[in-house]
Chain A
Amino acid sequence: MRVHAKRAGVLLGGLMAPALSTADWTLNMSPGVTGTSNDIFSLHMTILWICVVIGAGVFGVMFWSIFAHRKSSGRKPANFHENTLVEILWTIIPLVILVVMAIPATATLVDMYDTSEADVDIKVTGYQWRWKYDYIDDDFGYFSNISTSDDEIYNRTDKSENYLLDVDNPMVVPVGAKVRLLVTANDVIHSWWVPAFGVKKDAIPGFVNETWTRVDEPGIYRGQCTELCGVKHGFMPVVVKAVPQDEYDDWVAEQKEAAQRERELTEKDWTLEELMVRGEKAYASACAACHQADGSGAPPAFPALKGSQIALEDMDAHLDVVVNGVSGTAMQAFGGQLSEVDLAAVITYERNAWGNDTGEMVTPKEVFEYKNQE
């Protein structure tokens, strides 16, 4: 009953009090924060107004006929059925309008395709269902996962302000610099879109599409995957943080250092407890989307790990599945996606969580050797 009452409340609220804190009645595209998005916005407004004017003319004549030329008001029909001049005119005039419209559109398009002379190169890779950002000039990269909780999605708790539009690690770009994006995908087609930049590019597995952006104002900008990419297509947001150049430089230095630390961590001697702590986090980010946080999976596509043969028996088989994936299924090869530390942590976690009490662990070093011997 409470649920119903709540829903009815939302309905009434939605209809009668549009000024709910987060809800709004935005009608139009936003001009955005880049040169490209502003160009697009003005193209959009121009063509919209052209349509409105033509529409007003055509529908005006039509409605006038509807009201004034009714049989009920005793109208006798005229009998004309062609007029060459008029017909030629209404072929030529739209053509001219289109040509006029095509000129700025062409200019904008040419500009959008010019990816030369970029200051920063970022490789954007779509995975089911998260994004990976590789700063190829600086040799580091990371995944960006949705951070909205299942509780919010399944209405067990209130939805936060950036519901479905929040990630753990946003992409970071410097303000004012030309950022070249090399967009690709690992599995199916995704599409990387930030409305405020006017950038949307499909991520095609096996191919790289280039695009670019230059963000004028610092801030956090949000978008979503816009190509149907499977079950969680609605749950892979894009978040970009634009920061001043010096802040960006600090951040890059920090990331490079962290990447270096990560490499060192591989050498470290890990305990089961340490791996379990790290494994829980890594599992949540890389595995839980399909296999669920409690390891119960979503059979048949995503088998349960809790009590499963893979997680309880032969270690090498477990390593093989995680590192190399299972071809022909949705199980990806994580060998290239996760660091040795995370691979070791995830595998250890899977073998010891949710009552899978094997007590067995695999260290990052062992994973490193396993990958090398292949």
Chain B
Amino acid sequence: MAENQTYYVPEQSKWPIVATVGLGVTLYGTASIMVNSNQGESTTGAWLMFFVGAAIMTYMLFGWFGAVIKESRSGLYSPQMDRSFRWGMSWFIFSEVMFFAAFFGALFYTRVFAVPWLGGEGDRGSSNMLWEGFQATWPLINTPNPEAYPPPEGTIGPWGLPLINTILLVTSSFTVTVAHHALKEDNRKKVKTWLATTIALALVFVCVQGYEYVHAYQDLGLTLQSGIYGSTFFMLTGFHGAHVILGTLMLVIMLVRIQKGHFTGDNHFGFEATSWYWHFVDVVWLGLFVFVYVI
């Protein structure tokens, strides 16, 4: 520990408590929306609550990150602080990996165990006596009880739009890396170009994914309610999509900060964290492409 600089500990901060109130109100509102609409009651108040919470959260995000950026730019942070941020971000990404692992696990379990059992194969194959006529296939184009869960008429093949999306995301992983190298060289113009390219690729990805969802719902009858195939398909691609949108927002903020002249060639962890996150989103997609679409 060569550095002599003291570790920066802010005196007090209002952001944690604002964030708590914001998150609490948002989620209480969300839960109320769901419960009230299930019971056929009015959701107006719940929506109001949700928007108030979301507004507080937005205020908090700008305020908190703003404070950190200001501190960083005024030189309060030591290299040791930088390492804390690095550890923090890496473990956060690890937690995200585990979140997706739960859904991938659910996919493997249903494909390898549950659906074949229901179809009469394997150790618990006698389950099929409860579902006469049900045959195990994957993608699941029939469900054990088609009345409760009307099966889809078709599924989305991997070699059309999903392949294009794969190419888009992999390319964006490269472009963000190029931007990162440019930032290290302090070549601002190049950073902007490549970062903007990355954002454009991300937006196209989101649009393609949106188009695919509309197609699935309207033409194929592939929905959240169409049995376990639809459930796992939308759960995995949906959460991934949400992460892509979040990652894109982060990239946009980075572009704005570059525009404003933030970061230097050797001090740009905000940018680096965003790029880590982007690579993570990309890797998850590769997993999705293989396990959800191809196999």
Question: Chain A: residues with CB nearer than 8 A to chain B?
Answer: 182, 184, 206-210, 327
B147 and chain A: residue at smallest CB distance: A327
Q: Which 10 A-B pairs have the closest CB atoms?
A: A207-B127, A208-B126, A208-B127, A207-B124, A210-B126, A182-B126, A208-B129, A206-B130, A184-B130, A208-B130
A180 and chain B: residue at smallest CB distance: B126
Q: Cα distance A206–B126 when bound, in Å?
A: 11
Q: List 14 A-B contacts (CB under 8 A).
A: A182-B126, A184-B127, A206-B130, A206-B131, A206-B144, A207-B124, A207-B127, A207-B130, A208-B124, A208-B126, A208-B129, A208-B130, A209-B124, A210-B124
Question: Chain B: residues with CB nearer than 8 A to chain A?
Answer: 117-118, 124, 126-127, 129-131, 144, 148
Contacts of B131 in A (CB 8 A): 206
Determine which of A182, A209, A327 lies in contact with B129 in the assembled complex, contact meaning CB atoms within 8 Å: A182
A76, chain B: closest CB distance, angstroms: 39
Q: Cα distance A210–B125 when bound, in Å?
A: 10
Contacts of A208 in B (CB 8 A): 124, 126-127, 129-130
Determine which of A182, A184, A207, A327 lies in contact with B118 in the assembled complex, contact meaning CB atoms within 8 Å: A207
Which of B124, B126, B131, B148 neighbours the largest number of chain A CB atoms within 10 Å of its CB?
B126
Contacts of B118 in A (CB 8 A): 206-207
Q: A206-B131, A208-B127, A209-B124 are in contact. List 12 more A-B contacts (CB 8 A).
A: A182-B126, A182-B129, A184-B127, A184-B130, A206-B118, A206-B127, A207-B117, A207-B118, A207-B124, A207-B127, A208-B126, A210-B124
B128 and chain A: residue at smallest CB distance: A208
Contacts of B148 in A (CB 8 A): 327
B145 and chain A: residue at smallest CB distance: A206
Q: Cα distance A182–B130 when bound, in Å?
A: 11
B178, chain A: closest CB distance, angstroms: 51
Q: Cα distance A207–B118 when bound, in Å?
A: 7
Q: Cα distance A252–B129 when bound, in Å?
A: 23
Contacts of A184 in B (CB 8 A): 127, 130
Q: Cα distance A208–B130 when bound, in Å?
A: 8
Q: Cα distance A193–B14 when bound, in Å?
A: 56
Contacts of B127 in A (CB 8 A): 184, 206-208
Which of A182, A208, A210 neighbours the largest number of chain B CB atoms within 10 Å of its CB?
A208
B133, chain A: closest CB distance, angstroms: 15
A121 and chain B: residue at smallest CB distance: B126
Contacts of A210 in B (CB 8 A): 124, 126
Contacts of A182 in B (CB 8 A): 126, 129
Q: Cα distance A206–B124 when bound, in Å?
A: 11
Q: Cα distance A182–B127 when bound, in Å?
A: 9
Which of B118, B124, B130, B131 neighbours the largest number of chain A CB atoms within 10 Å of its CB?
B130
B117 and chain A: residue at smallest CB distance: A207
Contacts of A327 in B (CB 8 A): 148
Contacts of A207 in B (CB 8 A): 117-118, 124, 127, 130
Which of A182, A206, A209, A327 neighbours the largest number of chain B CB atoms within 10 Å of its CB?
A206
B131 and chain A: residue at smallest CB distance: A206
Which of A207, A209, A327 neighbours the largest number of chain B CB atoms within 10 Å of its CB?
A207
A139, chain B: closest CB distance, angstroms: 14
Q: Cα distance A209–B117 when bound, in Å?
A: 11
A54, chain B: closest CB distance, angstroms: 35
Q: Cα distance A209–B127 when bound, in Å?
A: 7
A53, chain B: closest CB distance, angstroms: 37
A303, chain B: closest CB distance, angstroms: 15
A245, chain B: closest CB distance, angstroms: 25
Contacts of B117 in A (CB 8 A): 207
Q: Cα distance A207–B144 when bound, in Å?
A: 11
Q: Cα distance A102–B117 when bound, in Å?
A: 29
Q: Cα distance A136–B107 when bound, in Å?
A: 34
B209, chain A: closest CB distance, angstroms: 31
Contacts of A206 in B (CB 8 A): 118, 127, 130-131, 144
A115 and chain B: residue at smallest CB distance: B126
Q: Cα distance A345–B129 when bound, in Å?
A: 30
Q: Cα distance A8–B240 when bound, in Å?
A: 63
Q: Cα distance A210–B126 when bound, in Å?
A: 8
B121, chain A: closest CB distance, angstroms: 13
A217, chain B: closest CB distance, angstroms: 29
B112, chain A: closest CB distance, angstroms: 15
B70, chain A: closest CB distance, angstroms: 50
B125 and chain A: residue at smallest CB distance: A208
Q: Cα distance A206–B130 when bound, in Å?
A: 7
A158, chain B: closest CB distance, angstroms: 42
A227, chain B: closest CB distance, angstroms: 17
B206, chain A: closest CB distance, angstroms: 34
Q: Cα distance A197–B117 when bound, in Å?
A: 27
Q: Cα distance A320–B129 when bound, in Å?
A: 26
A181, chain B: closest CB distance, angstroms: 11
Q: Cα distance A358–B131 when bound, in Å?
A: 40
Q: Cα distance A70–B147 when bound, in Å?
A: 74
A123 and chain B: residue at smallest CB distance: B129
Q: Cα distance A184–B129 when bound, in Å?
A: 11
Q: Cα distance A208–B117 when bound, in Å?
A: 9
A205 and chain B: residue at smallest CB distance: B130
